[in-house]
């Protein structure tokens, strides 16, 4: 088995080099063995783990959630109820975020459309920001 350097691991997993070291430092990835010259030497399993983490991060899971998901993955006989709960919670968050961003989008569109491209004192962008009562955006 040939040694996988950190650069190679980064390339294969899509996680940046300093981020790989960071994940090791917070215990998300086991410390790999070292070469004679003290350089990290990764196993193929580490690459899979890094790819797992990367994908989960892309889906917006927090590090602590990923930590839980990884311990579940490490023991395949456990119930997947926790994994399911984590994914469902994330789904709810994402749905909420989409709703709120859609409201923001509408407000920004009103602002941009209303801008006459003249002077600031006629600009709807500034006006709407200054007077919350004018906007359609509701809170909490």
Partner DNA sequence: CTACATCCTCTAGCGACTAGAGGTGCAAGA
Partner DNA sequence: TCTTGCACCTCTAGTCGCTAGAGGATGTAG
Nearest Cα to Cα of residue 51 among 2, 5, 10: 10
Decide if residue 62 touches DNA (CB under 7 A): yes
Residues near 128 by beta carbon (within 8 Å), at least 6 away in sequence: 107, 110, 111, 114, 134, 135
In angstroms, rounded to a whole number, what is the distance separating the alpha carbons of residues 15 and 64? 18
Give the x/- contact pattern for a copy of itself in 37-76, rule: CB under 8 A: -----------x--xx--xx-xxx--------x--xx-xx
- Helix (H/G/I), strand (E/B), else coil: 115: coil
Report the interface residues with a copy of itself, using CB under 8 A: 48, 51-52, 55-56, 58-60, 69, 72-73, 75-81, 83-84, 86-88, 90-91, 94-95, 97-98, 101-102, 104-105, 107-109, 111-112, 115-123, 125-126, 128-130, 132, 135, 137, 139
């Amino acid at each position: 088995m040939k040694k996988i350097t950190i650069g190679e691991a980064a390339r294969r997993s899509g996680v940046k080099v300093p981020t790989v070291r960071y994940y090791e430092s917070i215990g998300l990835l086991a410390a790999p063995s070292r070469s004679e010259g003290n350089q990290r030497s990764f196993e193929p399993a580490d690459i899979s783990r890094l790819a797992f983490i990367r994908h989960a991060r892309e889906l917006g899971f927090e590090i602590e959630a990923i930590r839980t998901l990884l311990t579940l993955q490490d023991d395949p006989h456990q119930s997947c109820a926790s994994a399911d709960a984590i994914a469902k919670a994330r789904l709810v968050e994402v749905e909420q975020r989409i709703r709120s961003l859609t409201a923001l989008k509408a407000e920004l569109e009103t602002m941009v459309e209303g801008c006459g491209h003249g002077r600031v004192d006629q600009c709807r962008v500034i006006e709407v920001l200054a007077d919350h009562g004018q906007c359609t955006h509701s809170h909490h």
